[in-house]
């Protein structure tokens, strides 16, 4: 029998509570639900707790390849039947692969939960990986790689990441390479599938108009036959060391120069995570941020400039992205360094910090307004924290951050010796040296 653990309802505001429950099936699969009875829809997802950073160099891209392949047919349904059944119930079936997760998800009206669950479980539990389908999908993904290589925003990020986490899986592309994708065969896919698609490496989450016990019973009928996996989890390597670098890549076809400037940052569960999000918001997280106001509004140097946090289970990065004309790159870098230095040398005002806090709280609350986002939130909190955080708790953590806290983090993060830069475009004879990156 399934062992049910009731998670205490998490209060979002004094007037609204989240009804979250958790059940662990006898084979080890965790099932999470959030009841949202005011909706008529339900979103559900199967989350695999490993992604591209858990691949060896020889099979780089196989997580993404398997994600594609499960849609090509099962032992009881063809790809066409899968599409037809989902369309018949008006569902939205999707999937994605990240550095640390793979997710298969579907959203339907509450009256179609049984049909949706049957299709979703069939995809995940009964793929066929036929050689003909594998060969066709290789061509599709090779075209996807070409599309990304033609996208300068993607390309500069890959250029930065591959050199920042050099020779580590975290720096390798999620899609893989032409060489690795071309090498995949049925045996490799089934070996990978058996190792990763196990109950202890998966989480099933759902949110919407559902009743927990009834839903869990349906999940157990679909997944109860999945053999328990060993108690040991996947082997995890030590956190990768970041590599300071300046990487210039010339691409004559581009009108703009794309740049990514970044620093190592703490992991997703770090105690300072909310302060770091606030620091990022102040630096480049919106239209009122310092970088946007200085570089776009005051100087007109760039149309797009922003900063972004990318936290992972054991490390992370904080990066600044911009697209500028070639003759404006040095001035853009100079002003960026000035803003980083200001954050290190001067405490932010209470009013500026207050705006950042309001922005962060609003983004978090508005990000939970759909059943799909809550379904994802459930799974991620379980996978990274093993517990659930209510908005009241998060708000208290955000409100506790002080200007001195922001300044301390700026000094810890924005160190010249750990900075890395990738520049992509029609660079001509332009050079960027380490002396240009002092903050």
Dist CA 239 CA 223 (whole Å): 33
Angle between helices 113-125 and 79-88 (to 10 degrees): 160
- State the DSSP code for 231: S
The pLDDT of residue 430 is: 86
| Contact partners, residue 403, CB within 8 Å, separation at least 6 | 347, 348, 349, 350, 353
Q: Which domains does the chain have, with CATH numbers?
A: 3-223 (3.30.830.10), 246-437 (3.30.830.10)
What's the pTM value of the predicted model, to 2 decimals? 0.92
Would you name the residues annotated as active-site residues? 67
The pLDDT of residue 12? 32
Handedness of CA 359, 362, 368, 372 (dihedral sign): negative
Start-to-end C-alpha separation, the chain: 59
Per-residue pLDDT tens over the stretch 204-238: 999 999 999 999 999 999 998 899 877 556 677 78
Can you give the pLDDT of all 439 residues of the chain as single tens digits? Answer: 344 333 333 333 333 467 999 999 999 999 999 999 999 999 999 999 999 999 999 999 999 999 999 999 999 999 999 999 999 999 999 999 999 999 999 999 999 999 999 999 999 999 999 999 999 999 999 999 999 999 999 999 999 999 999 999 999 999 999 999 999 999 999 999 999 999 999 999 999 999 999 999 999 999 988 998 775 566 777 899 999 999 999 998 899 999 999 999 999 999 999 999 999 999 999 999 999 999 999 999 999 999 999 999 999 999 999 999 999 999 999 999 999 999 999 999 999 999 999 999 999 889 888 999 999 999 999 999 999 998 899 999 999 999 999 999 999 999 999 999 999 999 988 889 888 899 8
Q: Which residues pair with 260 in a beta bridge?
A: 321, 422
Backbone angles phi, psi at 391, to 5 degrees: -65, -35
């Amino acid at each position: 029998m399934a062992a049910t653990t009731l998670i205490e309802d998490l209060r979002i505001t004094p007037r609204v509570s989240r009804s979250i429950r958790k059940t662990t099936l006898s084979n080890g699969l965790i099932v999470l639900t959030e009841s949202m009875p005011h909706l008529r829809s339900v979103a559900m997802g199967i989350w695999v707790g490993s992604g591209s950073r858990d691949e060896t160099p020889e099979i780089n891209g196989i997580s993404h390849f398997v994600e594609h392949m499960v849609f090509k047919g099962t032992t009881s349904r063809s790809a066409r039947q899968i599409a037809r059944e989902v369309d018949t119930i008006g569902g939205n079936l999707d999937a994605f692969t990240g550095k640390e997760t793979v997710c298969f998800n579907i959203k339907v009206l509450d009256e179609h939960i049984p049909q949706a669950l049957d299709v979703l479980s069939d995809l995940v539990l009964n793929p066929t990986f036929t050689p003909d389908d594998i060969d066709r999908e290789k061509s599709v993904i090779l075209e996807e790689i070409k599309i990304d290589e033609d996208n300068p925003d993607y390309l500069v990020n890959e250029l930065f990441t591959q050199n920042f986490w050099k020779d580590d899986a975290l720096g390798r592309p999620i899609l893989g390479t032409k060489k690795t994708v071309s090498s995949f065969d049925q045996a490799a896919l089934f070996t990978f599938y058996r190792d990763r698609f196990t109950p202890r490496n998966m989480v099933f989450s759902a949110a919407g108009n559902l009743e927990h016990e009834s839903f869990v019973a349906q999940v157990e009928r679909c997944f109860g036959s999945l053999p328990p996996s060993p108690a040991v989890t996947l082997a995890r390597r030590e956190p990768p060391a970041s590599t300071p670098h300046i990487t210039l890549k010339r691409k004559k076809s581009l009108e703009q120069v794309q740049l990514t400037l970044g620093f190592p940052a703490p992991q997703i569960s770090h105690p300072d995570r909310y302060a770091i999000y606030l620091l990022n918001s102040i630096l480049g997280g919106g239209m009122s941020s310092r970088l946007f106001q200085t570089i776009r509004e005051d100087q007109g140097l760039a149309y797009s400039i922003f900063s972004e946090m990318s936290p992972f289970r054991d490390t992370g990065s904080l990066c600044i992205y911009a697209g500028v004309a070639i003759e404006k790159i040095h001035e853009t870098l100079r002003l960026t360094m000035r803003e980083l230095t200001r954050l290190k040398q001067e405490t932010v005002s209470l009013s500026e910090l207050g705006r950042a806090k309001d922005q962060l709280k609003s983004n978090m609350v508005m990000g939970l307004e759909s059943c799909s986002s809550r379904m994802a939130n459930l799974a991620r909190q379980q996978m990274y924290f093993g517990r659930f955080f209510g908005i009241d708790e998060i708000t208290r953590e955000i409100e506790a951050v002080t200007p001195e806290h922001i300044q301390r983090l700026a000094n810890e993060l924005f160190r010249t010796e750990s900075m890395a830069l990738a520049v992509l475009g029609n660079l001509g004879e332009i050079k960027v040296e380490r002396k240009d990156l002092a903050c």
